[in-house]
């Protein structure tokens, strides 16, 4: 039999080469995985009105909603007692009404905490009266701009919505009439002045007052200066009063006046005066805009004839 030594020598050499020569090794390493998603609050403001279109003089109910749409708690900070406000703008951006100019916001540090998904709603009502005291012009669109009055977040978030004021339809219509019991008075006499409020519209009107005395009259001299205001001299109990006037129905109030000015001086002799009826100043905003006709009264204080 032939010897096998050379074969085993070759096998040993091959094994040694495999163990000592470089060998490529494929290693799979997993990419690092983020341990947690970034957490932060996200404060979002939105503005909505109860309708898209309104009749002239109809109240516009506004909701300003602030929500935390993030995944962490939002801490909102404020420097006054007012946390939200709104303004009304024309389509060209000009200011029509600013709510902040009509309320007092006392200085006070306040906070509002919103957890993820929480929301807070602030409600307002605009009576369609402009900053100048006149009704908003019909057949126009208006922008309702809401803002959060926060110091944090800063700048404060804001949002807008748009409404439309349509033309007049069956809005209430009232008439004021002033009457004096005489056209001429002698010095030292008193006058009975009657103020009449009449519903000259087509629908029944319901008015709400904080007292049963809700009308007044002004007296103007020949230069159109107010010399007397009845509301300064007539006291009235504070009692919630509802006044309902059907079409054609009237209410009247008679005042006894000593023909003296607010300063206590007698009226000038030989002069003519004009009596102008209206609502009390406190009720000018909600109801004076419904007055479509005002009939004044005139009288004269006779001069001494000797």
Asked whether residue 34 is domain-assigned, the answer is no
- Structure token digits, residue 272: 């003519």
**Within this chain, do residues 135 and 237 fall inside the same structural domain, yes or no?**
no
Boundary-marking domain end, from 113, 144, 165: 165
- Give the DSSP per-residue string, 159-220: EEEEEEE----S---EEEEEEES-SEE-TT--EEEEEEEEE-SSS-EEEEESSS--EEEEEE
To 5 degrees, how large is the angle CA 64–CA 61–CA 88?
70
Domains held by the chain: number: 2
**Within this chain, do residues 156 and 214 fall inside the same structural domain, yes or no?**
no
Length of the chain: 306
Instruction: Determine what percent of the chain falls in helix, strand and coil, rounding each to the nearest 5.
Output: 10, 45, 45
Per-residue pLDDT at 29: 42
CA dist 61 to 122, 125, 156, 163, 252, Å?
A: 11, 4, 22, 11, 33
Asked whether residue 5 is domain-assigned, the answer is no
Boundary-marking domain end, from 148, 165, 182: 165
Residue 158 CA to residue 47 CA, distance in Å, equals 9
**Within this chain, do residues 186 and 256 fall inside the same structural domain, yes or no?**
yes
Query: How many helices and strands, by DSSP H and E, does the chain display?
Result: 2, 22
DSSP, collapsed to helix, strand or coil, labels residue 254 as: strand
Asked whether residue 274 is domain-assigned, the answer is yes
Q: What is the pLDDT of residues 35-45, one digit of tens each?
A: 456 889 999 99
Asked whether residue 55 is domain-assigned, the answer is yes
**Within this chain, do residues 156 and 231 fall inside the same structural domain, yes or no?**
no
DSSP, collapsed to helix, strand or coil, labels residue 287 as: helix
| DSSP β-bridge partners for residue 126 | 60
Show the domain range for 68.
Answer: 43-165
Asked whether residue 37 is domain-assigned, the answer is no
Per-residue pLDDT at 36: 59
Per-residue pLDDT at 241: 84
CB 65 within 8 A of CB 123: no
Strands 241-245 and 272-279: unpaired
**Within this chain, do residues 64 and 161 fall inside the same structural domain, yes or no?**
yes
Sheet holding 53-54, edge to edge: 53-54, 158-165, 140-148, 84-90, 95-98
**Within this chain, do residues 196 and 292 fall inside the same structural domain, yes or no?**
yes
Q: Which of 185, 251, 170, 168 is nearest to 219 (CA)?
A: 185
DSSP, collapsed to helix, strand or coil, labels residue 137 as: coil
Helix (H), strand (E) at residue 87? strand 84-90
Per-residue pLDDT at 284: 78
Per-residue pLDDT at 213: 86
**Within this chain, do residues 131 and 194 fall inside the same structural domain, yes or no?**
no
CB 149: neighbour CB atoms within 10 A? 16
DSSP, collapsed to helix, strand or coil, labels residue 267 as: coil
Per-residue pLDDT at 170: 62
List per-block mean pLDDT (blocks of 10 residues) for the chain, which spans 306 residues. 47 44 40 62 95 91 95 94 95 94 90 94 94 89 96 92 81 91 95 96 87 91 94 78 91 95 95 94 82 94 74
Asked whether residue 14 is domain-assigned, the answer is no
Per-residue pLDDT at 210: 84
**Within this chain, do residues 70 and 124 fall inside the same structural domain, yes or no?**
yes
**Within this chain, do residues 179 and 158 fall inside the same structural domain, yes or no?**
no
| CATH number of the domain encompassing residue 235 | 2.60.40.2360
**Within this chain, do residues 182 and 290 fall inside the same structural domain, yes or no?**
yes
């Amino acid at each position: 039999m032939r010897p096998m030594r050379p074969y085993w020598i070759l096998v040993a050499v091959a094994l040694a080469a495999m163990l000592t020569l470089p060998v490529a090794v494929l290693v799979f390493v997993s990419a690092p995985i983020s341990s947690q998603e970034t957490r932060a609050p996200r404060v979002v403001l939105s503005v909505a009105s109860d309708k898209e279109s309104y009749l002239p003089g109809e109240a516009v109910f506004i909701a300003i909603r602030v929500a935390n749409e993030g995944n962490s708690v939002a801490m909102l900070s404020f420097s006054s007692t007012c946390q939200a406000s709104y303004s009304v703008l024309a389509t060209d951006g000009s200011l029509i009404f600013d709510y902040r100019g009509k309320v007092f916001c006392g200085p006070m540090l306040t906070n509002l905490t919103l957890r993820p998904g929480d929301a807070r709603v602030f409600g307002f009502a605009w009576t369609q009266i402009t900053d100048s005291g006149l009704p908003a012009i019909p057949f126009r669109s208006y922008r309702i701009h809401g803002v959060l009055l926060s110091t944090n977040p800063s700048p404060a978030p804001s949002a807008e919505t748009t409404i439309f004021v349509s033309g007049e339809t069956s809005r209430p219509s009232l008439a004021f009439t002033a009457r004096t019991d005489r056209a001429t008075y002698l010095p030292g006499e008193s006058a009975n002045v009657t103020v009449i409020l009449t519903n000259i519209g087509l629908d029944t009107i319901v008015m709400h007052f904080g007292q049963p005395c809700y009308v007044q009259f002004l007296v103007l001299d020949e230069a159109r200066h107010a010399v007397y205001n009845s509301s300064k001299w007539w006291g009235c109990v504070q009692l919630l009063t509802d006044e309902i006037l059907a079409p054609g129905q009237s209410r009247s109030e008679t005042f006894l006046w000593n023909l003296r000015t607010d300063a206590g001086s007698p009226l000038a002799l030989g002069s003519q005066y004009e009596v102008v009826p209206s609502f009390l100043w406190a009720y000018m905003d909600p109801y004076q805009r419904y007055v479509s006709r005002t009939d004044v009264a005139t009288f004269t204080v006779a001069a001494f004839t000797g």
